[in-house]
Structure 1
Amino acid sequence: MTLQDRYPLAFRLYPYARSPDQDAEAPIRHPAVIVGAGPVGLSLALDLGLRGTPVVVLDDHEGVGLGSRALCFAKRTLEIMDRLGAGRDMVGKGIVWQKGRVFRDRDEIFDFDLLPEAGHEYPAFINLQQPHFERFTMEAIARAQAGGAPIEVRGKNRVDAATVTEDGATLDLMTPDGPYRIAADYLIACDGARSPVRSMLGLGFEGRVFEDNFLIADVKMTADFPTERWFWFEPWFKSGDSALLHKQPDDIWRIDFQLGWDIDREKELKPENIRARVDKMLGHSDYELDWCSIYTFQCRRMERFRHGRVVFAGDSAHQVSPFGARGANSGVQDADNLGWKLAAVLAGAPDALLDSYDAERVMAADENILNSSRSTDFLTPKTEVSRLFRNAVLDLARQHAFARPLINSGRLSLPCIYDGSPLNTADALDGPARSRPGAPCPDAPFGDGFLLQSLGGGFTLLAIGCDAPDSLEEAGAKATRLSVEPTPEIRDRYLASASAALYLIRPDQHVAGRWPEFDETALRAAMRRAMGY
């Protein structure tokens, strides 16, 4: 079975159709134009469209590319996609997991649980192939379009040139019907690690390329392994210096083998050589090769993600190693951060609000790059001292719990807390650190559902055991009240020792500020700050 057979609805998600723009005498101007229809571009377009902001997405293909590609989607990403109307479909198709095991040779060193507490709607992770993620996002876009959301996705529209001015950008496009031009108030580049837009503008992309190669082998087989993440250091089956195994939907299993730096890529990608490695690991050959690739670790980013009227998101702005599932997850979180800000600026908010996107997401990228670099250094020690340290940690961890946190087989994706963000108001509550200003709101049971479902995509006054007005308007924004009783989960995640609290929640469900009670003067100042004033 071919990949196109496996993902038939993903290969032409947005087939080419002629646009009225192609017959215009002069370039038609659009408020927002996104280049790239991957997970980041599509989720950003959906967010903007649901806010009533007209958006055009351009992609040089008509659907997803080959292979499973991005695979592990984290809890925060699923919460974002729930707000956009696609989260439940993704979980319904995906493989839910939260536990993992780490081995050395044949011996298990330790296991872990990524979400040991109850009371969350979404799991720690699902495994879901990128074609399915994009398909569910496009289905949510179709539903939004049917409801009047001004979203347009144009396949087979390749960007050949970009001209940027102080008030926007003009793009030269090529289609099956020939060239045409469009203009944009804001151009958002979500066009991947090799970003053509970034190259057209002559912008840099600096960082480290790690001296190692990893082979991805997606295999289709029936197996009774548990739905856990299994990682081996120095595996007994000798198929690589390290190896990783976890399950995907449709009886597909992802296997990663660490190959080393000085390899013959063409030789390693021959099916018979891939099968030889997989056979050693599984002890049998009763499987089909579904998709294979070799990748090199890279950790790098642009110096700035915003360049006037051009904004970069996802892999076009930053790139990390696949171990830790930080790529697509951090990209969707870029879109979550940017969507409400760009919609607000286009509606009249200060341009400085977009600068906070750069400040917050550069902070997140640096955090991801730091964690990813540490993982890579542990997996692929570059000096004899580093190798001695890594092996000593693995030896100690078998018997001593204190050494186990030092083992780094890929620190898994967590959302960034925007400490020091220009949008934060100084913390006025002696509350939990996990819900401090800048943090994403932790979920909790609420009524017949969950708290994050009720926050929506606007500003919220989260009143926990205190009074607050039904709504408050300031700085062109409206915050609506959500009253919550201090249940045990709410108390643990939002109050700690406080008896009551009033939270100002941003449209991306991050905390802007919190107080022990409603204070209108303080809240109005916090709303102005959160809107970029």
Structure 2
Amino acid sequence: MAYDYKRFAYVPPPGLSMSEPRHKAIIVGAGPVGLAMALELANRGVASVLLDDSDVVSTGSRAMCWSKRSLELFDRLGIADKVLQMGMSWSVGRVCHGDDEIFSFDLAAEPGHRMPPFVNLQQYHVEQLLAERALAEPQIDLRFRNRVTGLDQDDAGAHVTVRTPDGTYGLSADYLIACDGARSTIRAMLDLDFEGDLFEERFLIADIEMEADFPPERWFWFQPSFHDGQSALLHRQADNIYRIDLQLGPHADPGHECKPETVIPRIEKVVGPDFELDWVSIFSFQCRRLRDFVHGRVIFAGDSAHVVAPFGARGGNSGLQDVDNLGWKLAAVLHGDAPASLIDSYNRERVQAADENLLHSSRATRFITPANGAERLFRDQVLALARKAPFARGWVNAGRLSTPCIYATSAPDDARLPEISCPGAVAPDAPQGEGWLLTALGRGVVLLAVNCEPPTGLDLPVLVAEVNDLVAERYLGRAGRALYLVRPDQVIAARWVEADARQIRKALAALWEGRP
């Protein structure tokens, strides 16, 4: 394979020879979500033990399309610059019907954001960068080849049995965070199952290495001539690796379809003969989730909590948004700054986000792989109309691309202020002098004052925004002034055109108690 998969060192854990002290947090699974979770907690002063049953990063590109919001989280975790340097930034998507392009879109049309809309970088690169950061972080005890084989919990915490090459040992912590993927062993130990839709359609995904001049764009084909009238997707990645997804139909034999002598002729029809096959996998779609993400002292995040069809880059990105939501809440509870009810708000908000992702992914899957009859007739008519009529292009669903969920809330609001900065939404970025607004907001609760003086008597950090055209557009709208209460995950908790200290304290209390 093109990537040099180097194994991480196994170190016998102290629990093999002595009883370990109780930990604040145990994280199971050192994929992107688990590693990001450990780093986010460390940023907030919480030490953790991170357990993984492997000693190498994941094989193949897998999650490879990282959204603007994920890049903003990577910036807090210290790897954004390297991801931007190594990856392929893109904003243009092209949609084809047959062999003809019927329309394109450009996600970078809106100016004034530090991060690009998307960067393509293979999951193994991202895991390597996160793992290196975690290994250098004193508050993270990253243990490879440590497999969780047993789990108990009580009102005070969670307790696991861990198997290593040198034997078994036990660990206890206030909370356990399950980030161990779609086949989660922690989920199985609690006898929990997903709810939702299983799709019979099978897809081939392949990484190929080739030197080509394909631009860093998203190409999607409905019924191309080079692939028996089914759908296809092409993305450029780092290191001259290209990702190709090919629809195979519900009756494809995975064993046969994974064979190089089967895969290579299929890909040759797409890009020609000059490539090397790097990695291949066959998958079926799921759009499912746990009913609840919090079960006592065990919290689920990422694919262990929810799985979606890959169209729209909603898998890895939604897992990182789980981290963004949970990290500050769990840290506040563990530090004694907030009641445990704050963690319940993680469940409420991220279940809402998962349902939104599942809805978008299910609709995309049905549009891409319609059933015979009305579904197929509708899809084909929309594609035909989109060739001629721009208004129909919004109906073409080749995967609605990942954006952060706007959480449902009854927090104070004022309709004179712009919709883009409503309570429950991530604060929109904008230039601030030589820097950026999201960077200036930092990692704590902040009162953002836009074109006004904040009220006195508040024990709360205040950021007075530099008002420029973009700040005025995104934060003022028809109002001439505004106050925004911003959470540690940069989600807007409440906003006012005018407010006194009492109103702000009331909203702040609701924030820390986890009330919607």
User: What TM-score, normalized by structure 1, do the two folds share?
Assistant: 0.94
Aligned residues: 513
CA contact (8 A) 2:58 2:123 kept: no
Q: 2:78 aligns with which of 71, 81, 85?
A: 85
Q: Where does residue 175 of structure 1 map in the other structure?
A: 164
In 1, Cα distance between equivalents of 2:376 and 2:165 = 54
Paired residue secondary structure (2:342): helix
Matched with 1:403 is 392
Counterpart residue number, 2:417? 431
Letter in 2 for 1:410: G
| Distance change >3 Å, CA 513–CA 141, structure 1 → 2 | same
Among candidates 36, 40, 47, match of residue 47 of structure 1: 40
Which moves more between the two structures, 122-131 or 448-457? Answer: 448-457
State the alpha-carbon separation in 2 of the partners of residues 386 and 493 from structure 1. 39
1:262 is matched by which residue type in structure 2? Answer: H
Of 16, 21, 24, 1:22 maps to: 16
Aligned partners of 1:101 and 1:228 also within 8 Å:
yes
Which of 118, 124, 128 is equivalent to 2:121? 128
| Residues in 1 aligned to 2:456 and 2:175: alpha-carbon distance in whole angstroms | 34
Is contact 1:243-1:256 (8 Å) kept? yes
Contact 1:34 1:56 in 2 (8 A): yes
Instruction: Give the Cα–Cα distance (whole angstroms) in 1 for the partners of residues 414 and 9 of structure 2.
Output: 52
Structure-2 residue corresponding to 1:498: 479
Residue matched to 2:236: 247
SS in 2 for 1:237: helix
Aligned-partner Cα distance in 2 for 1:240–1:298: 23
Supply the distance in 1 between the matched residues of 2:194 and 2:494 (Cα, whole angstroms). 34
Answer whether contact 1:95 1:247 (CA < 8 A) is retained: yes
CA-based RMSD of the aligned residues comes to 1.4
Assess if the C-alpha contact under 8 Å between 2:135 and 2:141 holds in 1. Answer: no
- How far is the alpha carbon of 1:117 from its aligned partner? 0.9
Shift of 1:140: 3.0
Aligned twin of 2:190: 201
Deviations 1:272-305 (A, max 9, x none): 11111011112x2111001100110100000000
- The residue number in structure 2 matching 1:476 is none
**1-structure distance, mates of 2:184, 2:456:** 45
| Cα distance in 1 between the residues matched to 2:79 and 2:108 | 22
SS of corresponding position for 1:272: helix
The CA deviation string for residues 120-150 of structure 1, in whole angstroms up to 9 with x for no partner, is: 000000000001111222233345x2xxx51
State the distance in 1 between where 2:357 and 2:29 align: 22
Secondary structure at the residue paired with 2:239?
Answer: coil
Cα 1:221–1:471 change in 2 (3 A) is farther
- 1:532 is displaced (CA, Å) by 0.9
Q: Which residue of 1 aligns with 2:57?
A: 64
The CA distance in 2 between the partners of 1:383 and 1:361, in whole Å, is 34
Residue aligning to 2:428: 442
* CA distance, structure 2, for counterparts of residue 311 and residue 207 of structure 1: 20
* Equivalent residues of 1:21, 1:28 under 8 A apart: no
**1:240: Cα distance to partner?**
5.8
CA contact (8 A) 1:235 1:242 kept: yes
State percent identity of aligned pairs: 53
Match of 2:95 among 87, 90, 102: 102
Instruction: Note the C-alpha offset of 1:254.
Output: 0.6
Find the residue that maps to 2:252 and give its secondary structure: coil
Q: Which moves more between the two structures, 232-241 or 272-281?
A: 232-241
How far, CA to CA, are the matches of 2:229 and 2:64 in structure 1?
21
Question: Could you report, residue by residue, the CA deviation over 1:205-251 in whole angstroms, capped at 9, with x for unpaired residues?
Answer: 11111120110111100111111101100002125611011100000
Shift of 1:461: 1.1
AA aligned to 2:59 is: L
- From the superposition, tell whether residues 482 and 22 of structure 1 become closer, same or farther in structure 2 (CA, over 3 Å): same
Indicate the residue corresponding to 1:34 in structure 2. Answer: 27
* Conserved 8 A contact 1:235-1:241: yes
Shift of 1:469: 6.3
* Range moving further from structure 2, 309-318 or 480-489: 480-489
5+ residue gaps, structure 2, are none
